[in-house]
């Protein structure tokens, strides 16, 4: 494991492949960590990739550099973290790929800093949050699927996450990937990342901000204003849906108009944790973007 100061964070990350390989950053989601990509990495390094897997803010050994920094989980912060990491490591226009929070971070980076990104792979299509829309109700089936987001709006929810983080996160793994038969060892390998001292604060802020219930870190106000304008993604992109992803039961094929460059959408036989459930399919999406780049 390596560490680098990048923006407001001291980022812990894993690095594989040749130092002069073509760069790709694989970003995990909530409640997962870098091990979601354990089987994706070999397929990429075999094709010459330099693969970077950072622990996101609030996860694993990644830490805030200052006690004064807002423990924000908002989308502009996640995208900024990704670009700051690429700058700190001097990555020349990496492909950015991710799912859940990692897909959100990757989409934000591609939308706001296209000159710094060579291409995108994203689970759930155009994954940038429309905060204004999130202030209003959805179909009851959708609201039911995101029960945890409603829970985190309350102090009772914060208390529950702090006290029962492993039980709650394991429940989400099962609900979001109903056909994935992961074992205790697989979950334990990731669960230690939830012991980060900022985990609860970052997670709670992320979902309160996403539903428009709290303000963000003022440092990201300008970026959030730009994201509210729904900027199109202008780099080549492959987007993915998990056929059994209970968070996106209708899929995201209708997001295609948000992609202004070469774009392909794929439906994969997997749930929400697609890189860990179908690593070959995720790796192939990255390699497709790489082939387009070349």
- DSSP codes joined into one string, the chain: -EEEEETTEEEEEEEES-TTSEEEEEE--TT--GGGGTTTHHHHHTTTEEEEEEPPTTSTT-EES-TTS-----HHHHHHHHHHHHHHTT-SS-EEEESTHHHHHHHHHHHH-GGG-SEEEEETSS----HHHHTS---HHHHHHTHHHHHTTSHHHHHHHHHSHHHHHHHHHHHHSTT----HHHHHHHHGGGG-TTHHHHHHHHHHHHTTSS---GGGHHHHHHHHT-PPB-S-EEEEEETT-TTSTT-SGGGGGGB-SSEEEEEES--S-HHHHSHHHHHHHHHHHHHHH-
pLDDT at 195: 98
Whether a cis peptide bond, with omega within 30° of 0, leads into 31 is yes
Backbone region of residue 60 per phi and psi (left: phi > 0; alpha: psi in -120 to 50; beta: other values): left
pLDDT at 213: 96
CA 284 to chain centre: 18
Question: Of 127, 115, 116, 118, nearest to 95 (Cα)?
Answer: 118
pLDDT bucket at 263, cuts 50 / 70 / 90: very high
**Any residues with CB less than 8 A from the CB of 207 and at least 6 apart, and which?**
73, 148, 149, 152, 153
Question: Of 242, 251, 247, 250, nearest to 270 (Cα)?
Answer: 242
Tokens 């230690």, located at residue: 192
Question: Which residues does residue 64 pair with via DSSP β-bridges, in sequence order?
Answer: 9
List pLDDT tens digits, range 64-112: 999 999 999 999 999 999 999 999 999 999 999 999 999 999 999 999 9
Question: Of 71, 81, 16, nearest to 49 (Cα)?
Answer: 16
Question: Which residues does residue 271 pair with via DSSP β-bridges, in sequence order?
Answer: none
What global pTM score does this model have? 0.97
**Sign for the pseudo-dihedral over CA of 11, 14, 17, 19:** positive
pLDDT at 143: 94
HSE (side-chain half, CA atoms, 13 Å) at 98:
33
> Are 273 and 32 in contact, with CB atoms under 8 Å apart?
yes
Tokens 């929810």, located at residue: 157
pLDDT bucket at 10, cuts 50 / 70 / 90: very high
pLDDT of residue 43 exceeding 90, the answer is: yes
Question: Which residues does residue 43 pair with via DSSP β-bridges, in sequence order?
Answer: none
pLDDT bucket at 294, cuts 50 / 70 / 90: confident
pLDDT at 286: 98
């Amino acid at each position: 494991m390596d560490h680098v100061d990048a923006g407001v964070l001291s980022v812990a990350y894993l690095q594989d492949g040749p130092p002069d390989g073509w760069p790709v950053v694989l970003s995990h989601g909530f409640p997962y960590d870098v091990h979601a990509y354990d089987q994706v990495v070999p397929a990429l390094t075999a094709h010459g990739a330099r693969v970077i897997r950072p622990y996101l803010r609030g996860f694993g050994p990644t830490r805030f550099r200052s006690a004064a920094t807002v423990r924000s989980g908002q989308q502009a912060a996640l995208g900024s973290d990704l670009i700051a990491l690429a700058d700190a490591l001097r990555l020349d226009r990496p492909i950015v790929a991710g799912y859940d929070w990692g897909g959100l971070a990757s989409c934000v980076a591609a939308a706001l800093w296209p000159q710094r990104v060579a291409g995108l792979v994203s689970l759930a299509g155009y994954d940038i949050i429309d905060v204004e829309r999130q202030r209003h109700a959805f179909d009851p089936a959708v609201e039911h699927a995101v029960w945890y987001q409603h829970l985190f709006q309350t102090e009772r929810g914060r208390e529950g996450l702090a006290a029962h983080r492993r039980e709650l996160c394991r429940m989400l793994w099962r609900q979001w990937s109903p056909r994935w038969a992961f074992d205790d060892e697989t979950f334990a390998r990731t669960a230690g990342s939830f012991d980060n001292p900022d985990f609860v604060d970052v997670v709670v802020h992320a979902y309160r901000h996403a539903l428009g219930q709290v303000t963000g870190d003022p440092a990201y106000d300008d970026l959030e204003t730009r994201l509210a304008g729904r900027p199109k993604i202008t780099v080549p992109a492959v987007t993915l849906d998990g056929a059994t992803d209970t968070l996106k039961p209708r899929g995201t094929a209708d997001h295609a108009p948000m992609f202004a460059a070469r774009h392909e959408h794929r439906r994969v036989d997997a749930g929400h944790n697609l890189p860990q459930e179908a690593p070959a399919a995720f790796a192939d999406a990255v390699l497709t973007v790489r082939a387009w780049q070349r």
